[in-house]
Amino acid sequence: MKEVCLEIEKRYEIKFLESGVARDHVHFLVETTVRATRAKPEQKKPTPLALR
């Protein structure tokens, strides 16, 4: 499991801080960076014209 975690750390911007192993599952405490992405500008939708 340690080798897998080290490989994940190399591949992604993740650092494993702690882990806990139970009989049927594993817990991880990880640290990662937030990648900011540019949001797509909202497309202007035509508004219906009100007829009076």
Whole-angstrom Cα distance, residue 43 to residue 48? 16
pLDDT in tens, 1-52: 889 999 999 998 899 999 999 999 999 999 998 776 666 666 555 556 555 4
Domain boundaries, the chain: 2-32
* pLDDT for res 34: 77
Q: What percent of the chain has pLDDT over 70?
A: 67
Strand partners, 27: 20
| Strand ranges, E, within the chain | 14-21, 26-32
- Closest C-alpha to 17, from 45, 49, 9: 9
- 12: DSSP letter: S
* pLDDT for res 33: 85
Task: Supply the pTM of this predicted model.
Answer: 0.55
